[in-house]
Structure 1
């Protein structure tokens, strides 16, 4: 019988699994692994239950592309992204004073999961996500006003998962799905 002081194996989430699958697909398209190796490693990832099993399936892959993280920062004023723009895998938005508006409705989103980290002092923030996006705001800490977000009842499968984290001081975050 195992003692209670032993640490249980670290279980993985579906997001961890999706990220691992994406890394394998990128490694294959960039020529780092063969089709046979991709097939074998995908099987490992899809049947993995612990983090150590995922790590072994991703062993010897090149590090993730450092170009997948971007930071937008301003002390004051407005931060705005709209129209057609390429969304990185990890986006950090930092603003002491001012408004933030990120419109992802027409943006090029190449990743199944996008992490947006907000570090905002005062001012409002608005994020418009694609119609079929799944939004997760559990990692966001708001100090003054709650986040305004109404979960879509019906969304088509296959949309990106937008995970919003970080901290907001005095201000409110409003998230809405694009109408078209």
Structure 2
């Protein structure tokens, strides 16, 4: 099946972004509860690079496929889930990396390292961790998995927040998110 990369985020309207998100079909990972478990021997490095048995996975299509099967449980463990088996996967920081953002029409849209688009809001909140010297901002993606904003994306967001006269925060879909670490 051919893969059509979404258009450049900067050129998209909020409606176009929403249409791309709605058209993106994902496996029903939240409904699968297999009994069998195993270790996938895979790891997602802090910079978003995927590895299997110590070797980098260089095929973007494989990463997009595997990332569609990710789930994080209440204990913070990440899993690759299929109807038959769930396999543990080591995630050094976040399962995804947010590599771009766009502010438009009261919403913050993000592109992930898997080319997925996510709009921050009630279902996809932002949270800030770390400290004032080294803050990290995370976006909830799905099934408990988050995307860490890379440096340039964080700087875009910080620039937007600096326009607020009453604090260092951003707003998306009616939700306000502080960019000060928790």
- Interval containing the TM-score (normalised by the shorter chain): under 0.3
Query: Which protein has greater RCO, CA pairs closer than 8 Å, 6+ apart?
Result: 2
From the CA coordinates, give the structure whose radius of gyration is larger.
1
Calculate the TM-score normalised by the size of structure 2: 0.24
